[in-house]
Amino acid sequence: MTSLLLAAASPETFSWSPKVGLLMVLCNIFVIYLGTKIFKAGEGTQLPNPKYFGGLGLEALLATTSLGHVIGFGVILGVGAAGLL
């Protein structure tokens, strides 16, 4: 009974499509760009080719991509709820 109530209360989810993937990628790129302005370049564990990520270290890259996914999740749900997906 409880599982039926939880299933009825859950928001509508959207299946993967190229539009959903593009939104997630754009959100991650935007947050990585912001991360290059916030974090100091060259701090932390260096990546094999840091020029592709604005000089961010491994820790800063993981933090920015994690935030990018959280923001992307919200954007996908918001755009989908608006009927634009």
Q: Which residue has the tokens 């190229």?
A: 18
Contact (CB, 8 A) for 31 and 65: yes
Q: Which two tokens stand for residue 44?
A: 């932390």
Number of domains in the chain: 1
- Name the residue range of residue 15's domain: 2-81
More confident: 35 or 14: 35
Task: Note the pLDDT tens digit of each residue in 23-64.
Answer: 999 999 999 888 888 877 666 677 777 677 777 888 888 888
Q: How far is CA 21 from CA 8, 28, 45, 54, in A?
A: 26, 11, 28, 22
Contact indicator for 20, 85 with CB cutoff of 8 Å? yes
Rounded to an integer, what distance in angstroms lies between the CA atom of residue 24 and that of residue 85? 13
In 1-85, which residue ranges form alpha helices assigned H by DSSP? 2-9, 18-38, 58-81
What's residue 53's pLDDT? 72
